[in-house]
Amino acid sequence: MTENEISTKIIGLAIEVHKVLGPGLLESAYKESLFYMINKHGLKVEKEKSMPLIFEEVKLDCGYRIDLLVENKLVMEIKSVDSLNDIHLAQTLTYLKLGNYKLGLLINFNEVLLKSGIRRIVNNL
């Protein structure tokens, strides 16, 4: 599957999770529910994937973690905040660059309509 195909499927699953849970829960509730749904639909998914930082050719473990990595291609950053801001976008883009991934989804579940909280982020390698 391509990144775009994976992204389309994941957005559909996120909408299903949001329909059941609604807004207002902790980020961890949405992350665990989405992790479960992605597994249930037969996609490979890693949770809290460690993302080391390479600085002057030294690999540093700084505690960066991707919320969900799907099919080793799609970076997912899950939020439950009043609104997404530039730092959330920057964080996701940083993960894309550090891992050399092409596409990320930043999803804020704390929205009445989930569609309003979804951002696709592209790394122009």
Answer whether CATH 3.40.1130 is correct for domain 3-122: no
Between 18-22, 45-49, 51-55, 83-87, the lowest mean confidence (pLDDT) is in 51-55
Boundaries of every domain in the chain: 3-122
Local confidence band at 61 (pLDDT 50, 70, 90 cut-offs): confident
Range 60-67 average pLDDT: 82
3-state secondary structure the chain: CCHHHHHHHHHHHHHHHHHHHCCCCCHHHHHHHHHHHHHHCCCCEEEEEECCEEECCEEECCCCEEEEEECCCEEEEEECCCCCCHHHHHHHHHHHHHHCCCEEEEEECCCCCHHHHEEEEECCC
pTM exceeds 0.85: yes
